[in-house]
Amino acid sequence: MSAADRTPRAFAALLRVYPRDARARFGDAMRYAWQQDLERARQTGTLAVLAFWIATTADAFRFGIAERLPRVSLRRALTVDWRDAWRALRAAPLVSTFAVLSLALGIGGVTALFSILNSITLKPLPVREPGRVVLLDGGSWTNPIWEAIRDRQAGIADGAFAWATDRLNLSPAGAADMVEGLWVSGSLFDVLGVPTAMGRPIQPQDDVRGGGADGPVAVISDAMWQRRFGGAPDVLGRRLTIERVPFTIVGVTPASFFGPDVGRAFDVAIPLATEPLIRPRDSALDERSTWWMNIGARLKPGQTPEEASALLRALQPQIRAATLPSLNPEGRAQYLAEPLTFVAAPGGRSALRSRYERPLTTILAVVSLVLLIACANIANLLIARASARRHELTVRLALGASRWRIARQLLAESLLLATAGAALGVVIARWGSALLVSQLTTYAATVNLDLALDRRVLAFATAVSAAAALLAGVAPALSVGGITPQEALRVHGRAAAGGRRFSARHASVVLQVALSLVLVVGAGLLARTFVGLATRDAGFDRRGVLLVTARVDQNPLEEPARLALFERFARAAAAVPGVSAAAACFTTPTASAGWNTMVVVPAGSSLTRRQRMTWVNIVSPGWFPTMGVPMVAGRDFDARDRAGAPPVVIVNRAFAQRFLPGQTLGSVVSTLEPGPHDKPAPRLEVVGVVDDTIYKSLRAPMEPIMYYPLAQSDGLGTSVVISARAASARADTLAHSVAAAIAREDPTAVLSIRTLEAQMAASLTQERLVATLAGFFGVLGLLLAALGLYGVTSAAVTARRAEIGIRMALGARADGVVRMVLGSVAWLVGLGIAAGAALSAWAATFTQSLLYDVQPRDPVTFVAAALTLIAVATLAAWLPARRASRIDPVQVLRQY
Amino acid sequence: MSKTDIKTAPLKPAVFHILLALADTSTHGYAVMQAVREQSAGAVRISTGSFYRHLGALMRDGLVEEAAGPTLDDPRRGLYYRITPRGRTVLARERERLAALVAAVDALGRAPRRGRA
Q: Which of A22, A26, A71 sits opposite B78 (nearest CB)?
A: A26
Q: Which of A22, A32, A36 sits opposite B56 (nearest CB)?
A: A22
* Phi (first) and psi of residue A229, to 5 degrees: -115, 10
The reported pLDDT for the residue numbered A427 is 87
| Averaged pLDDT for residues A41-60 | 84
* Exposure string over A119-128, b if 16+ CB within 10 A, otherwise e: bbbebebbbe
| Averaged pLDDT for residues A115-138 | 80
Q: Residue A217 in contact with residue A199, Cβ under 8 Å?
A: no
Contacts of A25 in chain B (CB under 8 A): 56
The reported pLDDT for the residue numbered A221 is 92
Contacts of B50 in chain A (CB under 8 A): 59, 62-63
DSSP state of A643: T
Nearest residue in chain B measured CA to CA from A66: B53
Query: What is the distance in angstroms between the Cα of B115 and the nearest Cα belonging to chain A?
Result: 32
Per-residue pLDDT band for A69 (boundaries 50, 70, 90) equals low
DSSP 3-state of A615: strand
Query: What is the distance in angstroms between the Cα of A446 and the nearest Cα belonging to chain B?
Result: 50
pLDDT over threshold 90, residue A66: no
d(Cα A855, Cα A503) in Å, to the nearest integer? Answer: 37
d(Cα A680, Cα A668) in Å, to the nearest integer? Answer: 16
The DSSP secondary structure of A141-153, one letter per residue, reads B-HHHHHHHHHHG
Contacts of A71 in chain B (CB under 8 A): 1
Contacts of B29 in chain A (CB under 8 A): 26, 29-30, 32-33
CA dihedral sign of residues A716, A717, A718, A719: negative
Burial class (CB in 10 A: 0-12, 13-18, 19+), B109: exposed
The reported pLDDT for the residue numbered A814 is 85
* Phi (first) and psi of residue A576, to 5 degrees: -70, 135
Report which residue type is found at A688: G
Maximum mean pLDDT: which of A326-330, A669-673, A749-753, A847-851: A749-753
Strand partners, A839: none
Tell me: the pLDDT tens digits for A331-353? 677 777 788 888 887 776 666 66
| Averaged pLDDT for residues A137-145 | 84
Which residues, 6 or more positions from A600, have their beta carbon under 8 angstroms from its beta carbon?
Answer: A669, A670, A671, A672
Per-residue pLDDT band for A673 (boundaries 50, 70, 90) equals low
The reported pLDDT for the residue numbered A623 is 94
- When mean pLDDT is compared across A233-242, A254-263, A474-483, the lowest value belongs to A474-483
Residue A93's alpha-carbon distances to A88, A90, A425, A432, B38, in angstroms, are: 9, 5, 19, 26, 51
The DSSP secondary structure of A333-395, one letter per residue, reads HHHHHSPP-EEE-TT-B-HHHHHHHHHHHHHHHHHHHHHHHHHHHHHHHHHHHHHHTHHHHHH
Per-residue pLDDT band for A442 (boundaries 50, 70, 90) equals low
Determine whether the interchain pair B1/A72 forms a contact, defined as Cβ–Cβ distance below 8 Å.
Answer: yes
Which residues, 6 or more positions from A783, have their beta carbon under 8 angstroms from its beta carbon?
Answer: none
The reported pLDDT for the residue numbered A352 is 66
Determine whether the interchain pair B78/A55 forms a contact, defined as Cβ–Cβ distance below 8 Å.
Answer: no
Residue A685's alpha-carbon distances to A183, A648, A677, A842, B5, in angstroms, are: 40, 5, 21, 53, 102
CA-closest candidate to residue A700, choices A754, A761, A763 = A763
d(Cα A804, Cα A794) in Å, to the nearest integer? Answer: 13
Show which residues on chain A lie within 8 Å of chain B, measured between beta carbons: 22, 25-26, 28-34, 36-37, 55-56, 59-60, 62-64, 66-67, 71-72
Nearest residue in chain A measured CA to CA from B45: A55
Query: What is the distance in angstroms between the Cα of A45 and the nearest Cα belonging to chain B?
Result: 19
Strand partners, A826: none
Q: State the maximum Cα–Cα separation within chain B, in Å, rounded to a whole number.
A: 62
Determine whether the interchain pair B48/A56 forms a contact, defined as Cβ–Cβ distance below 8 Å.
Answer: yes
Question: In whole angstroms, what separates CA B59 from the centre of its chain?
Answer: 12
pLDDT over threshold 60, residue A39: yes
Q: Find the helix or strand (DSSP H, E) in which A284 lies.
A: none
Query: What is the distance in angstroms between the Cα of A5 and the nearest Cα belonging to chain B?
Result: 18
Determine whether the interchain pair A28/B76 forms a contact, defined as Cβ–Cβ distance below 8 Å.
Answer: yes
CA-closest candidate to residue A30, choices A14, A49, A51 = A14
- When mean pLDDT is compared across A64-73, A469-478, A578-587, A797-806, the lowest value belongs to A64-73
pLDDT over threshold 50, residue A30: yes
Q: Residue A645 in contact with residue A609, Cβ under 8 Å?
A: no
The reported pLDDT for the residue numbered A160 is 93
* Phi (first) and psi of residue A230, to 5 degrees: 55, 30
| Averaged pLDDT for residues B96-106 | 85
Query: What is the distance in angstroms between the Cα of B112 and the nearest Cα belonging to chain A?
Result: 40
Contacts of B76 in chain A (CB under 8 A): 28-29, 31-32
The reported pLDDT for the residue numbered A705 is 94
DSSP 3-state of A650: strand
Per-residue pLDDT band for A220 (boundaries 50, 70, 90) equals very high
Contacts of B79 in chain A (CB under 8 A): 29
The reported pLDDT for the residue numbered A372 is 87
Contacts 24+ apart (CB under 8 A), A126-132: A126/A194, A126/A254, A126/A256, A126/A257, A126/A258, A127/A192, A127/A193, A127/A194, A127/A257, A128/A192, A128/A193, A128/A194, A129/A193, A129/A298, A130/A346, A130/A347, A130/A348, A131/A344, A131/A346, A132/A158, A132/A298, A132/A299, A132/A301, A132/A303
pLDDT over threshold 50, residue A135: yes
Beta-strand pair A198-199/A239-242: unpaired
Pick A79 or A398 by higher pLDDT.
Answer: A398
The DSSP secondary structure of A761-811, one letter per residue, reads HHTTHHHHHHHHHHHHHHHHHHHHHHHHHHHHHHHHHHHTHHHHHHHHHTT
The reported pLDDT for the residue numbered A483 is 65
Tell me: the pLDDT tens digits for A610-654? 788 899 999 999 999 999 999 999 999 998 888 888 889 999 999
The ipTM estimated for the assembled molecules is: 0.79
Determine whether the interchain pair A33/B1 forms a contact, defined as Cβ–Cβ distance below 8 Å.
Answer: no
* Phi (first) and psi of residue A545, to 5 degrees: -115, 125
Q: Find the helix or strand (DSSP H, E) in which A754 lies.
A: strand A750-755
| Residue to test with chain B: of A28, A40, A53, A65, most B Cβ within 10 A | A28
Pick A835 or A883 by higher pLDDT.
Answer: A835
Structural Rg of chain B based on CA atoms: 17
DSSP 3-state of A745: helix
Q: Which of A31, A59, A72 sits opposite B49 (nearest CB)?
A: A59
Tell me: the pLDDT tens digits for A860-873? 999 999 999 999 99
- When mean pLDDT is compared across A232-246, A477-491, B92-106, the lowest value belongs to A477-491
Q: Residue B44 in contact with residue B17, Cβ under 8 Å?
A: yes
The reported pLDDT for the residue numbered A804 is 87
Q: Which of B50, B53, B77 sits opposite A29 (nearest CB)?
A: B77
Tell me: the pLDDT tens digits for B18-32? 988 888 888 888 888
Contacts of B52 in chain A (CB under 8 A): 22, 26, 29-30, 63
Q: Which of A22, A29, A59 sits opposite B29 (nearest CB)?
A: A29
DSSP 3-state of A204: helix
Show which residues on chain B lie within 8 Å of chain A, measured between beta carbons: 1, 28-30, 33, 47-53, 55-56, 74-79
Which residues, 6 or more positions from A551, have their beta carbon under 8 angstroms from its beta carbon?
Answer: A169, A718, A719, A749, A750, A751
d(Cα A132, Cα A157) in Å, to the nearest integer? Answer: 10
Q: Residue A694 in contact with residue A700, Cβ under 8 Å?
A: yes
Percent of chain A with pLDDT over 70: 90
Tell me: the pLDDT tens digits for A149-195? 999 888 888 899 999 988 888 887 766 788 889 999 999 999 998 88
DSSP 3-state of B55: helix
Give, to the nearest 10 degrees, the angle between helix A82-91 and helix A403-440.
60
d(Cα A718, Cα A550) in Å, to the nearest integer? Answer: 8
Determine whether the interchain pair B29/A33 forms a contact, defined as Cβ–Cβ distance below 8 Å.
Answer: yes
* Exposure string over A274-309, b if 16+ CB within 10 A, otherwise e: bbbbbbeebebbebbbbbbbbbbbbbeeebebeebb
d(Cα A716, Cα A710) in Å, to the nearest integer? Answer: 8
CA-closest candidate to residue A732, choices A514, A892, A578, A557 = A578
Query: What is the distance in angstroms between the Cα of B30 and the nearest Cα belonging to chain A?
Result: 5
Pick A760 or A493 by higher pLDDT.
Answer: A760
Strand order of the β-sheet with B64-67 is B27-28, B80-83, B64-67
Q: Residue A733 in contact with residue A577, Cβ under 8 Å?
A: no
Q: Residue A128 in contact with residue A193, Cβ under 8 Å?
A: yes
Determine whether the interchain pair A33/B50 forms a contact, defined as Cβ–Cβ distance below 8 Å.
Answer: no
DSSP state of A539: S
> How confident is the prediction for chain A on average, in pLDDT?
83
> How confident is the prediction for chain B on average, in pLDDT?
78
Q: Residue A708 in contact with residue A623, Cβ under 8 Å?
A: no
Pick A653 or A93 by higher pLDDT.
Answer: A653
pLDDT over threshold 70, residue A678: no
CA-closest candidate to residue A623, choices A715, A743, A541 = A541
Contacts of A62 in chain B (CB under 8 A): 49-50
| Averaged pLDDT for residues A301-322 | 88
Question: In whole angstroms, what separates CA A779 from the centre of its chain?
Answer: 21
| Residue to test with chain B: of A11, A16, A36, most B Cβ within 10 A | A36
| Averaged pLDDT for residues A735-754 | 88
Determine whether the interchain pair A59/B47 forms a contact, defined as Cβ–Cβ distance below 8 Å.
Answer: yes
Q: Which of A33, A62, A67 sits opposite B33 (nearest CB)?
A: A33
Determine whether the interchain pair B78/A28 forms a contact, defined as Cβ–Cβ distance below 8 Å.
Answer: yes
| Residue to test with chain B: of A7, A15, A30, most B Cβ within 10 A | A30
d(Cα A442, Cα A436) in Å, to the nearest integer? Answer: 12
Per-residue pLDDT band for A481 (boundaries 50, 70, 90) equals low
Which residues, 6 or more positions from A16, have their beta carbon under 8 angstroms from its beta carbon?
Answer: A23
